[in-house]
């Protein structure tokens, strides 16, 4: 029986699987169609490779993004989390070193009117050998977790910069809409004065004046709503900057220029361009090392413990030394180790499924944002023509009313149609800017790494 146990232990020492020491190696194959049919496979460049300062050249916006990247609460807490993970790596590396402790003790005995003292002043040491890769796996897992949080920080950075840019241009859009609304108010005042003059001359009845006055007040209500939206958006942007609410300096809507061409690049680039995809891959790596550690739990734990110091009575202390080597081999633990290994393998499968989903989700975002850009561009030309036509229609209608050849209702309709078209024109331009911001960030832009 003893011989059988010895043979068993030796076999376990000599025949451990190579997987106990193997480093994680990604074995997936990226789907080149992850972004659908919007990518030119011959184009190896990408808008995501361009520095964000070369695309969003507004110095006021650049300053806001720089401030957010330094002050934002999520960015700062994520950096602290990375530093904690780095400390875990250092702690895991100490697994190779023995531990020492100073443990003095005094034992006092009193028996038959005789007292004895025993003093022990030792330094104890304990060393876990970890010859089956236990310590190595912990170190690799800790390093993978650091990389995961670094990718997370970059994901936060990309999202933060995109949100700042979106809010900035939302403010610019609201400014432009407010400008149009205030201009419409001026025109409505002129129309109201003209209608009132015609009423005083007996050409129109009083309902015409009341209708024009009601429309004027509706525009003034819209102006109040736009100003409130500006205040709310400024406060939200200040929160991203981790600053108290204040006015945000910004450029005019006309100063933004879209890039003439947008390069998408190869879909495989998503693997190293998007931090969220990299995070999904890190999860596969972490699951792999968890499985390794679950396998290593089946193998013996070999340790060496030692003691060196002085011991004896207060009158005579002698040098004491002791060394013990031990091997602890799990034999039966109620199936817990087996269940632990099976669950670790299932976690690996889940991590791979989640990685594929992250890849396709990234591709879907790019696909959608590209079409958003194209749609906004197509609509832009038609809306511009519509606004120009309504300007002409409004001016002609005003002339006709002043000459008494048309009614106030036609003037009112022309004014309302013009204001609505101008607001839609600004909204569509903002949709185009927002689609560009989202497309750029979805291709890994705003990532300074």
pLDDT confidence tier of residue 202, bands split at 50, 70 and 90: low
pLDDT confidence tier of residue 201, bands split at 50, 70 and 90: low
pLDDT higher than 90, residue 167: yes
pLDDT confidence tier of residue 314, bands split at 50, 70 and 90: low
pLDDT higher than 50, residue 15: no
Range with the largest mean pLDDT of 136-145, 222-231, 353-362 = 222-231
Query: 349 and 287 in contact (C-beta within 8 Å)?
Result: no
173 domain-assigned:
yes
pLDDT confidence tier of residue 5, bands split at 50, 70 and 90: very low
1 domain-assigned:
no
Q: 92: domain CATH number?
A: 1.20.1600.10
Q: Tell me whether strands 105-111 and 301-312 are parallel, antiparallel or unpaired.
A: unpaired
Mean pLDDT of 196-219: 71
pLDDT confidence tier of residue 39, bands split at 50, 70 and 90: low
19 domain-assigned:
no
pLDDT higher than 80, residue 168: yes
Mean pLDDT of 134-141: 84
Q: What is the mean pLDDT of the chain?
A: 80
Mean pLDDT of 32-55: 65
Instruction: Between 2 and 113, name the one with better pLDDT.
Output: 113
Domain range enclosing 56: 25-442
Mean pLDDT of 418-422: 86
> Residue 83 and residue 16: Cα distance in Å, rounded?
35
Of 80-84, 226-230, 418-422, the one with minimum mean pLDDT is: 418-422
Instruction: Between 161 and 121, name the one with better pLDDT.
Output: 161
pLDDT higher than 60, residue 57: yes
385 domain-assigned:
yes
Does an H or E element contain 303, and which? strand 301-312
Instruction: Between 321 and 421, name the one with better pLDDT.
Output: 421
pLDDT confidence tier of residue 402, bands split at 50, 70 and 90: low
79 domain-assigned:
yes
Q: Name the packing angle between helices 206-240 and 134-200 (round to 10°).
A: 160
> Residue 78 and residue 1: Cα distance in Å, rounded?
57
DSSP annotation of 23 reads P
Q: Looking at residue 380, what is its pLDDT? A: 85
Q: Looking at residue 123, what is its pLDDT? A: 81
Q: Looking at residue 413, what is its pLDDT? A: 78
State pLDDT tens for residues 100-110.
787 787 777 76
Determine phi and psi for 122, rounding to 5 degrees. -105, 160
What is the count of structural domains for the chain?
1
> Residue 19 and residue 341: Cα distance in Å, rounded?
13
382 domain-assigned:
yes
7 domain-assigned:
no
Of 201-210, 233-242, 258-267, 380-389, the one with minimum mean pLDDT is: 258-267
Long-range residue pairs from 341-348, CB within 8 A, at least 24 positions apart, any chain: 341/291, 341/294, 341/295, 341/297, 341/298, 343/294, 344/287, 344/290, 344/291, 344/293, 344/294, 345/291, 347/287, 347/290, 347/291, 348/284, 348/287, 348/288, 348/290, 348/291
DSSP string for residues in 164-191: HHHHHHHHHHHHHHHHHHHHHHHHHHHH
Q: Which two tokens stand for residue 276?
A: 């969220």
The strand ranges marked E within 76-218 are: 99-102, 105-111, 114-128
pLDDT higher than 50, residue 2: no
pLDDT higher than 50, residue 145: yes
Instruction: Between 14 and 343, name the one with better pLDDT.
Output: 343
DSSP string for residues in 309-351: EEEE-SS-EEEEEEEEEEEE----STTHHHHHHHHHHHHHHHH
Query: 433 and 256 in contact (C-beta within 8 Å)?
Result: yes
Cα-atom radius of gyration of the chain, to the nearest Å?
37
Give me the torsion for CA of 165, 167, 170, 171, rounded to 10°: -110
59 domain-assigned:
yes
Q: Looking at residue 7, what is its pLDDT? A: 44
């Amino acid at each position: 029986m003893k011989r059988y146990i010895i043979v068993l232990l030796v076999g376990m020492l000599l025949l451990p699987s190579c997987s106990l020491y193997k480093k994680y190696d990604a074995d997936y194959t990226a789907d080149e169609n992850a972004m659908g049919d919007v990518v030119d496979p011959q184009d190896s460049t990408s808008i995501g490779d361009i520095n964000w300062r070369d695309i969003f050249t507004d110095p006021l916006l650049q300053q806001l993004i720089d401030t957010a990247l330094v002050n934002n609460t999520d960015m700062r807490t994520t950096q602290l989390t990375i530093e904690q993970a780095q400390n875990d790596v250092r702690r895991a590396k100490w697994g190779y070193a023995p531990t020492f402790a100073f443990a003095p003790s005094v034992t006092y005995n009193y028996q038959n009117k005789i007292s004895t003292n025993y003093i022990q002043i030792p330094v104890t040491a304990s060393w876990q050998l970890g010859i089956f890769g236990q310590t190595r796996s912990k170190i690799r897992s800790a390093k993978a977790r650091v990389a995961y949080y670094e990718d997370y920080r970059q994901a936060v950075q990309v999202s933060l910069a995109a949100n700042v840019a979106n809010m900035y241009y939302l403010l610019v859009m609201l400014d432009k809409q407010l400008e149009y609304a205030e201009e419409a108010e001026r025109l409505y005042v002129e129309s109201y004065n003209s209608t009132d003059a015609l009423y005083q001359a007996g050409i129109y009845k009083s309902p015409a004046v009341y209708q024009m006055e009601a429309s004027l007040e509706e525009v003034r209500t819209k102006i109040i709503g736009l100003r409130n939206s500006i205040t709310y958006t400024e406060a939200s942007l200040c929160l991203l900057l981790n600053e108290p609410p204040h006015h945000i300096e910004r450029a005019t809507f006309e100063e933004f220029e879209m890039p003439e061409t947008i390069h998408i690049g190869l879909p495989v680039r998503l693997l190293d361009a998007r931090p969220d995809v990299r995070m999904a891959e890190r999860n596969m790596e972490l699951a792999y090392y968890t499985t390794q550690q679950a396998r290593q739990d089946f193998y013996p734990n070999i340790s060496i413990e030692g003691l060196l110091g002085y011991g004896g009575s207060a009158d005579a202390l002698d040098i004491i030394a002791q060394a013990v080597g031990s091997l602890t081999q799990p034999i039966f633990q109620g199936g817990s180790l087996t269940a632990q290994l099976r669950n670790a393998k299932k976690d690996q499968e889940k991590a791979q499924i989640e990685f594929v989903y992250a890849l396709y989700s990234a591709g879907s975002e790019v696909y959608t944002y590209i079409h958003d850009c194209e749609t906004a561009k197509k609509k832009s030309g038609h809306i511009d023509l519509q606004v120009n036509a309504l300007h002409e229609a409004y001016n002609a209608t005003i002339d006709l009313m002043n000459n008494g050849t048309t009614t106030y209702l036609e003037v009112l309709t022309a004014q309302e149609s013009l204001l609505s078209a101008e607001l839609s024109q600004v909204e569509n331009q903002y949709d185009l800017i927002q689609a560009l911001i989202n497309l750029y960030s979805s291709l890994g832009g705003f990532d300074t790494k």
